[in-house]
Structure 1
Amino acid sequence: MGIEKSPGHFSAHGHDFRGGAYSIGIETAGFAAFARKAASHSMVQKVRKSIEGRDLILGVDRLDYSKGITQRIDAFERFITNNPAHQRSVTYLQITPKSRSEVPEYEAMQHAVAEQAGRVNGAIGTVDWVPIRYINRSISRPILAGLYRLAKIGLVTPLRDGMNLVAKEYVAAQDPENPGVLVLSRFAGAARELKSALLVNPYDVDGTANAMARGINMPLEERQERWRGMMDHLLKNDVSHWCETFLADLTSE
């Protein structure tokens, strides 16, 4: 173990070391332009047509215990149960590519999530409304960007995450005239930057359900104000800024 000489500076084995935390960004302006174009992708338009004017709630995560997918599905069910007026007015699309399928525990988790989504659909769905659409394969980047832009709510609620760039991509993809709402776990690293998101404890099913309701009902002016604050931050702290800051500190001494 080294000895901290001053904040961020350590000494060990006769050598001095410097450490720091550098929050990685995305190519914000480029992704925003990409999403504008992707909104017209034929598959995105098919999804738009298929939800028949309903608000779209979107979750995008690899299959992993840390992503809080089962808690999120519970929260969506609670949202509908507590807000029956929204039954048949929203669709929740969860995109979860398979991960580590050779590991039995992950294979079991895949089945558990699919069964949970099916149970909720059976409990609250109707003959003409499937509440949850669950896809367990990868989606191409253009389609994903278009879906981000289409979604009224971006649901990013990991139980614990170092950063989570999905949250940043969702914000960057939004239409400035009619942006969606980011519901974000306070246990994701991105929460330290995206402070205008609706921050939730992913273990709190009622709290997450309430955030969904608030996001769905949020007035346009508030949505725009929250989005502008986050987008301004992402533009200033994009991947180029991250690289420049890291390299500048690396070569400063």
Structure 2
Amino acid sequence: SRENVESYQEIRAALEAQSGRINGAYASAEWVPIRYVNQGYPRDELAAMYRAAKIGLVTPLRDGMNLVAKEYIAAQDPADPGVLILSRFAGAAAQLKQALLVNPYSAEDLADAIATALAMPLDERIARWQPMMENVEREDVMWWMNCFIGHLRETVAAPADIQRT
């Protein structure tokens, strides 16, 4: 749906160029550091990729609910979950407090979080994942809708503090 938006096209071109430069510099016949893929996947394949990923890196500069972060959490193996690294500016950061929260504008923050995630012991990964999974199960789309409609009703019912000129 965003393929025709110019700013997305520019970002895609920059990502492709940068990943190509990194792969050109560091790849070997057996290993490629960045596997950049820009396509849609069926839901079951996407869930399998989330589950296989040891790190979920979700770093929007601004965002609403951010379902990708929640899908990543929901897809994890309870016995060996991955680590969610999440932008502190994502709407989901308020719900997924056990994620490693980062400033997406800071390369140092991102690098530190990736290093922390890669070194994180299993017991800590499980301890972080469990409350996030409980949150994802509890605060589902119906919960969100009820909160949203409740806020709308409060806004409509509140007296207007607008002065007309």
**Higher relative contact order (CA closer than 8 Å, sequence separation 6+):** 1
The offset of 1:248, in angstroms, is 6.5
Q: Which amino acid aligns with 2:45?
A: I
Kindly provide the CA deviation profile for residues 38-82 of structure 1, in whole angstroms up to 9, marking residues without a partner as x.
xxxxxxxxxxxxxxxxxxxxxxxxxxxxxxxxxxxxxxxxxxxxx
Q: 2:28 aligns with which of 126, 143, 146?
A: 126
Aligned to 2:38: 136
Moved over 4 A (4+): 244-253
SS at match of 2:93: helix
The offset of 1:172, in angstroms, is 0.9
> What is the aligned residue count?
155
5+ long unaligned stretches in structure 2: 158-165
SS at match of 1:134: coil
Is the helix fraction higher in 1 or 2? 2
Is the strand fraction higher in 1 or 2? 1
| Closer, same or farther: CA 192–248 of 1 in aligned 2, 3 Å | closer
Q: Which amino acid aligns with 1:172?
A: A
Structure 2 CA distance for aligned equivalents of residues 110 and 249 of structure 1: 36
Structure 2 CA distance for aligned equivalents of residues 150 and 111 of structure 1: 27
**Root-mean-square deviation (Å):** 2.1
Aligned to 2:162: none
The offset of 1:250, in angstroms, is 6.9
Structure 2 CA distance for aligned equivalents of residues 122 and 155 of structure 1: 23
The offset of 1:104, in angstroms, is 4.1
SS at match of 1:132: coil
Matches within 5 A, 1:16-165: 99-101=2-4, 103-165=5-67
Q: 2:86 aligns with which of 160, 177, 184?
A: 184
5+ long unaligned stretches in structure 1: 1-97
Q: Which amino acid aligns with 2:56?
A: G
The offset of 1:210, in angstroms, is 1.1
Aligned to 1:24: none
| Closer, same or farther: CA 251–104 of 1 in aligned 2, 3 Å | closer
| Closer, same or farther: CA 174–105 of 1 in aligned 2, 3 Å | closer
| Closer, same or farther: CA 241–161 of 1 in aligned 2, 3 Å | closer
Identity, in percent, stands at 54
Q: Report the TM-score when normalising by structure 2.
A: 0.84
